[in-house]
Amino acid sequence: MIYFEKLTRNTGVSRFYQIWYEEAVQDGSTVWKLWTLRGRTGEQGTQKLEEYHIQSDFLNRLMELENLRLSDGYEKKLNPNLEQAELELN
């Protein structure tokens, strides 16, 4: 899972988005599943699932998301939810 966050300077609101993906076999063919989760930091956000049957389409979408991250000013961060879960396990 990759976690990105940015602070909107004019409003002081922090926003995040996460992406994660997996390769799966469905009806005898490979499917790449890509999830995105976006929203304000501290809120649930909106989740979206996309499925790709052609690997090049999947890779192109990953590049689009990376370009979006760069152009919108998101920075890669540690996911605070995962950090909290690790602390609770210890």
Tokens of 33: 């599943």
In 3D space, the residue among 26, 68, 69 whose CA is nearest the CA of residue 51 turns out to be 26
Q: State the pLDDT at residue 84.
A: 45
Q: Which fold has domain 2-89?
A: q64v53_bacfr protein fold (2.20.140)
- Whether the predicted pLDDT of 15 surpasses 80: yes
pLDDT digits (tens, 9 = 90+) for 25-40: 988 999 999 999 989 8
Residues 6+ apart with CB under 8 A from 50: 33, 34, 35, 36, 61
pLDDT digits (tens, 9 = 90+) for 48-80: 999 999 999 999 999 999 898 888 888 887 766
Question: Coil, strand or helix: which one is 85?
Answer: helix
